[in-house]
């Protein structure tokens, strides 16, 4: 199968991925708020029986943020991995299409990073009582956010497309190094207070695991669909920009050519005049000297008429 056929096959999957992604996420959200049980918090002063079940702890609604917060964060890592991959491909091949792809993937990454920060901060604010804590996970993810924003600042700062593509690719690859660090930091630093969701002994009961997985796969499908749609639009926009630049270049070339033609005609006219009109100064033999020679009024008139013709 050729590269183009692969691309067409991927594009054909976009509507399916979009619809399925939205459906899975909605199903996950509905499950989260209807069937998934509330997690248990602090101990109660005395146990109580609710709906035939003994409850000994407070119930936490805020944990429900994680059913969508974690999938969004994982999607941001996944899309950024593609951005880094396409940046490497750009450096290997030098093809501009990989620059458009990497830029598009970074755009989608920025959206998912923003969504992660919004949802995460709201959880932090409720559970920890502050909007921000400089703990390892939050700090590394904040650095990732700044790096993603920095990527676009860098792109806007460089005008030459070739340099912009190369510099941005290198920056993207370096920025991506922070993604696995941010993902693994809660495991690497045991003192981290951020909850660890992805682990083999998480002990999530099926009624909690299923909505989480629905949200995760739904968000990944949404990220894929968004990236492909954005890629199609950005590729087209890049083509239009390139066409515009080429047309402008053609216009400029045509203008330069006509100006050169006019200059040549002027020089030829000047040369003709200098051969017919006797002059005392040698400067009159050069076209530049035609206007400066007080004896060559005819030449001036002739060159003027030539320039008017132009």
Q: The tokens of 158 are what?
A: 């460089």
Alpha carbon distance 26, 41 (integer Å):
27
Residue 204 carries which DSSP code?
A: -
Residue with tokens 């941005």: 168
**Contacts with 285 (C-beta within 8 Å, 6 or more apart), sequence order:** 274, 279
Q: The tokens of 108 are what?
A: 């989608």
Is residue 38 within the footprint of other proteins (CB under 8 A)?
yes
Q: Which residues in the 121-180 window bind other proteins by CB under 8 A?
A: 122-123, 125-126
Q: Which of 59, 196, 263, 301 binds other proteins (CB under 8 A)?
A: 59
Shortest Å, Cβ 91 to other proteins = 26
Shortest Å, Cβ 71 to other proteins = 9
Shortest Å, Cβ 13 to other proteins = 18
Alpha-carbon distances of 48 from 75, 106, 242, rounded to whole Å: 40, 50, 70
Q: Which of 243, 245, 301, 310 binds other proteins (CB under 8 A)?
A: 243
Count, residues near other proteins per rule CB under 8 A: 43
Is residue 26 within the footprint of other proteins (CB under 8 A)?
no
Q: Which of 5, 12, 50, 157 binds other proteins (CB under 8 A)?
A: 50
Stretch that binds other proteins, among 82-90, 115-123, 139-147, 302-310 (CB under 8 A): 115-123
For the chain, the first-to-last Cα distance in angstroms comes to: 57
Is residue 23 within the footprint of other proteins (CB under 8 A)?
no
Alpha carbons within 13 A on the beta-carbon side of 141: 29
Shortest Å, Cβ 26 to other proteins = 11
Shortest Å, Cβ 34 to other proteins = 14
Among residues 1 and 51, whose Cβ is nearest to other proteins? 51
Shortest Å, Cβ 111 to other proteins = 4
DSSP H or E stretch at residue 83 = helix 66-93
* Beta-carbon count within 10 A of 76 CB: 28
Among residues 64 and 101, whose Cβ is nearest to other proteins? 64
Stretch that binds other proteins, among 104-112, 130-138, 196-204, 291-299 (CB under 8 A): 104-112
Whether the CB-CB separation of 258 and 120 falls below 8 Å is answered with no
Among residues 128 and 167, whose Cβ is nearest to other proteins? 128
Shortest Å, Cβ 279 to other proteins = 39
Whether the CB-CB separation of 139 and 147 falls below 8 Å is answered with no
Phi, psi torsion values for 196, nearest 5 degrees: -105, 115
Q: Which residues in the 200-239 window bind other proteins by CB under 8 A?
A: 222, 226, 229-230, 233-234, 236-237
Residue with tokens 């002990």: 203
Q: The tokens of 23 are what?
A: 């459906």
**What angle do helix axes 136-157 and 161-176 make, rounded to 10 degrees?**
170
Q: Which of 78, 72, 80, 79 is nearest to 172 (CA)?
A: 80
Q: Which residues in the 61-90 window bind other proteins by CB under 8 A?
A: 61-62, 64-65, 68-69, 72
Alpha carbon distance 246, 235 (integer Å):
16
Residues at the interface with other proteins (CB under 8 A): 29, 38, 41, 44-46, 48, 50, 55, 58-62, 64-65, 68-69, 72, 107-108, 111-112, 114-115, 118-119, 122-123, 125-126, 222, 226, 229-230, 233-234, 236-237, 240, 243-244, 247
């Amino acid at each position: 199968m050729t590269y183009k056929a692969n691309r067409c096959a991927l594009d054909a999957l976009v509507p399916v991925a979009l619809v399925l992604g939205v459906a899975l996420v909605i199903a996950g959200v509905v499950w989260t708020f209807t069937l998934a049980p509330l997690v248990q918090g602090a101990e109660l002063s005395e146990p109580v029986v609710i709906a035939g079940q003994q409850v000994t702890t407070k119930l936490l609604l805020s944990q429900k943020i994680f059913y969508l917060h974690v999938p969004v964060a994982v999607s941001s890592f996944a899309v950024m991995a593609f951005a880094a991959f396409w940046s490497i491909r750009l450096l290997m091949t030098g093809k501009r299409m990989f620059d458009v792809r990497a830029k598009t993937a970074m755009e989608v990454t920025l959206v998912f990073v923003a969504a992660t920060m919004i949802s995460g901060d709201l959880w932090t604010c409720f559970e920890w009582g502050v909007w921000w804590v400089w703990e390892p996970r939050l700090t590394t993810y904040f650095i990732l956010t700044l790096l993603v924003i920095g990527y676009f600042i860098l792109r806007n700062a460089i005008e030459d497309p070739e340099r912009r593509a190369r510099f941005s690719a290198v920056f993207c690859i370096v920025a991506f190094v922070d993604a696995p660090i941010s993902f693994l930091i809660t495991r690497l630093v045991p003192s981290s207070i951020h909850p660890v969701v992805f682990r083999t002994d998480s002990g999530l009961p099926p009624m909690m695991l299923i909505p989480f997985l629905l949200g995760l796969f739904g968000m990944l499908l949404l990220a894929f669909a968004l990236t492909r749609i954005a890629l199609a639009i950005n590729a087209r926009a890049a083509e239009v920009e390139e066409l515009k630049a080429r047309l402008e270049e053609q216009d400029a070339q045509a203008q330069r050519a006509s100006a050169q033609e006019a200059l040549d005609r002027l020089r030829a006219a000047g040369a003709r005049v200098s051969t017919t009109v006797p002059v005392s100064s040698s400067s009159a033999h050069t076209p530049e000297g035609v206007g400066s020679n007080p004896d060559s009024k005819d030449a001036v008139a002739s060159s003027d008429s030539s320039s008017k013709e132009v």
